[in-house]
Amino acid sequence: MTDFKNYLYYNKIMDTRQTAVVALSGGVDSSVTALLLQQQGYEVIGLTGRMINASDSVVYNAKRVADKLQIKHYVFDASEKFKDKVINYFINSYRNGRTPNPCIMCNQFIKWGVLFDYALNELDADIFATGHYADIRYVDGVYKLYPAKDEHKDQLYFLYRLGQKHLSKTVFPLHKYDKEQVRQMAVNFNLPPKDSKDSQDICFIQKPMTTKKFLSEKFGAQKGDFIDILTGKKWGEHQGCYQYTIGQRKGIGIAAPYPLYVIDIDVKKNIVYVGREEDNYKTNCRITDLNLTYPLEKYEFDAWVKIRYNMQHKKAHVRLFNDFADIEFYEPVNSITNGQSGVLYDLDDKHLLGGGIVVR
């Protein structure tokens, strides 16, 4: 039965009138996603979320793509939800000494929140699609997320909040392609964003604004001390601990006989603790607000773990509890940071198991 469902899933044996709603941003990835689904026989509808004031350009670009493909295009005002669940989360994380992952919250509450619900409930979508690089497979009675072909674009880390309800109605057509192939398809079919660059990570902080300037406008100057994590020596002063993150080296602005790294942050005392690179390594952490992609049979096991997106998988021993997990790495890892996401992957094939928010 499982093989048959896989066959249906991958070969798209379907009623040609099935409807695919694509989260259409006007960028290369979502545009080619819409193109591929259209070629597979779906009735494709573009759905664009209006999230910030700068979204006018996103809506305009998405409409150009929809017009090129001759598909219907809808715009959903998600600005209030986006402000509440993404922007406020971002600000409050820094206020509390944590380093956030806004893209993960956007996926949970916007793309697979209000847009997913609107697609299925209002647009009668049979499937929901985005331009993420990930591979959904139906295995042993559950949907699982596997790495995409392009290991440099693999986005499982950002998708750990998704569950079976979402995965059962979602497709990622780009999983079998690398980025250059996707760009070439955009060129071949003369799609409007064929020469556009990849979108920036924090969409609500537009250039020339920077994250540091954005937070400085929110919090203002808050004079505090740089303190050595081992000796207690005061190295200097800063203008707000929210400007720093664990593991940071550049931008500290302290003249020292050796490179200094941010080792810890005490937001209540407004202290940024610094030290040598070796002071920044730990072997354990906890992840809270745990979400599992599918039910796991074991509560204690070895897995690959990432505690930030741009890092190699590290082997660790995992113990699951009701809503958190304790992680013990087999070798020390650097820059374990409060507020980032700790994501778990199967030890054999690196499919996604779940994840949560890192607590040091």
Q: Which residues are part of the catalytic machinery?
A: 106, 203
Q: What is the DSSP letter of 295?
A: -
The dihedral built from the CA positions of residue 30, 103, 307 and 160, taken in this order, carries a sign that is negative
What is d(CA 245, CA 248) in angstroms, rounded to the nearest whole number? 6
The order of strands in the sheet holding 170-171 is: 72-77, 43-50, 19-23, 127-129, 170-171
What is d(CA 55, CA 60) in angstroms, rounded to the nearest whole number? 8
Structure tokens at 339: 């507020």
* HEC letters along 145-169: EECCCCCCCCCHHHHCCCCHHHHCC
Contact 263, 244 (CB under 8 A): no
- Could you write out the DSSP letters of every residue in 177-225? S-HHHHHHHHHHTT-TTTTPPPPPS-TTS-TT--HHHHHHHHH----EE
C-alpha closest to that of 107 among 203, 15, 11? 203
What is d(CA 132, CA 155) in angstroms, rounded to the nearest whole number? 7
- Residue 292's H or E segment, with its range, is strand 281-292
Contact 22, 30 (CB under 8 A): yes
Contact 224, 312 (CB under 8 A): no
What is d(CA 130, CA 136) in angstroms, rounded to the nearest whole number? 12
> How many C-alpha atoms does 303 have within 13 Å on its Cβ side?
26
